[in-house]
Amino acid sequence: MSREPKLSLIPLGGLGEIGKNMMAVRFGENILVVDCGLMFPGEEMLGIDIVIPDITYLLENKEIVRGIVLTHGHEDHIGALPYVLRQLNVPVYGTKLTLGLLQGKLKERNVDAVINTVKPREIMQIGPFKVEFIRVSHSIPDAVAIAIHTQVGVVVHTGDFKIDQTPVDGQVTDFHRLSQLGDKGVLVLLSDSTNAEIPGYTLSERMVGNTFDETFRQATDRIIIATFASNVHRLQQAITVAHRQKRKVAVVGRSMVNVVNVAYELGYLDIPENTMVELDEANRLPRHKVVILTTGSQGEPMSALTRMALSEHKQVDIVPGDTIIISATPIPGNEKVVARIIDQLFKQGAHVIYESASSIHVSGHPCQEDLKMMLNLVRPKFFVPVHGEYRMLIKHAELAKDVGIPTEKIFVAENGQVLEFTRRTGRIASRITAGKVLVDGLGVGDVGNIVLRDRKQLSQDGILIVVVTIDRDAGLIVAGPDIVSRGFVYVRESEQLLEEARLKVKNALDACADRGISEWSPIKSQVRDVLSKFLYEKTRRRPMILPIIMEV
């Protein structure tokens, strides 16, 4: 009797977190990867630039990875590719705008890749997988869900989506095709859980256009709009309303300039003639004739809006009368930073319109009723909530139960768990290596928990460096001990404390000499222990202590 074929789904990122979305689909000796995103570091990841998925599993099986398919062009779905493609030379498939944005990133990092442009409703044969791309609405054009047809059954991955009946570009989600797949039978549905905690329906992107219209009419001076650079529909609405109100538009911020250029070149932005101007020219125009589109809706430290708020931007000064629209919701964890920027803008005399106080932003993700609609359209045999923190996955699982999917056929998984399916059964089978790889400057993965722990200690209690020169043969201190403090105490105001510390070090060195200890390692340990205990008793702080012993 032949063994029943099995299909494995292996999340490498995006479960129990927002960001670094990556899902491996394995059938026999073939792996297909869906998305390859990054995540921005949390506050505890001091100095880290970005976080990407750990692809150890893919590297161990690199001979059988057939390709990477992309759902859309957001950073949390394509941002890790410049790092991953250096190690994994496989073809990439995506829609035109997604690949347009990706190519800019690859070029910036000198990475070559084989990329294949696909269109909605197109089917690509990638190894044994028939991969179908299905149009969905999202906060960036050219977003697709992906249906993977295998011998075991069909897997539908929604990517990020929203149910928008009146999208800005007129490209409505392909409900018909999703329903057709549901009729034929879908083995597993993987669906976006970002807004699973929010009741009701997600509002249409057009609502923001109406709010822009009203705000532009009321504004008597310059308008500055901060939003996600990748939200092309939002940029389109701002440009359209500005043109209607006879205002010129300037773009500030590197990522915003890049996206506007790529989207315009590929035909995803319709910019009326003579509407766009350089920032220099905008500064020479009457203020009531200007709209500035800028990055910084998340309060990023180096973004254009943050520098404007702190009066550090070279070309844009905030002045009383400016209307500033922050058209985005703070990503969880960014609330305090964004609130601080809003306060700063108010202090500069600007009129600030922000999400919690107006309908200036709508989500690009589905709320509870939209999620139920997707479940009812696709009607899968098994369901796996993806793309969300753990509580969101749990909420989404509850919604699936509400629409009639049996509890035993719903899997709330974690990154690294292997979900194994046959035509009739599903289970969590095993676990593989998955996690975070930290990118710091040019270093990829060279900063780990120990380095972060040291950085945390340095940031909290500072460092104390003890320098001493010893004549090893005579067992005498020739010079020092000298103590250098950084981030621990201010030397001029703590001379007595440091003098006592110096004495403690000298006594420790004498004790080592008396006991005949001449190896540097135990001497350093003794100095560290004595000094650490003394400083904690005196200050209740634990600075990092770095003994440097030189010999003559």
**What amino acid positions are annotated as catalytic residues?**
192, 365
For 462, other C-beta atoms within 10 Å of its C-beta total 16
Identify each DSSP E strand in 176-281 by its residue range: 186-192, 223-226, 248-252
Residues 292 and 225 sit within 8 Å (Cβ to Cβ): yes
Q: What is the DSSP string of 306-318?
A: HHHHTT--SS---
Q: What are the C-alpha distances in Å from 135 to residues 4, 132, 173?
A: 33, 10, 5
Nearest to 322 by CA among 350, 290, 296: 350
**How large is the angle between the packed helices 175-184 and 368-378, nearest 10 degrees?**
50
Q: What is the DSSP letter of 273?
A: T
User: Residues 137, 69, 395, 398: is their CA dihedral positive or negative?
Assistant: positive
Residues 95 and 78 sit within 8 Å (Cβ to Cβ): no
> How far is residue 411's CA from residue 394's CA, in Å, rounded to a whole number?
10
Q: Which residues of 94-112 are buried (b: 16+ CB within 10 A; e: fewer)?
A: bbbbbbbbbeebbeeeebe
Show Cβ contacts of residue 284 under 8 Å, excluding neighbours closer than 6 positions.
none
> How far is residue 354's CA from residue 351's CA, in Å, rounded to a whole number?
10
Cα 14 from chain centroid? 10
> How far is residue 23's CA from residue 127's CA, in Å, rounded to a whole number?
17
Give the neighbor-by-neighbor strand order of the sheet with 50-53: 50-53, 436-440, 443-444
Nearest to 181 by CA among 128, 134, 124, 127: 134
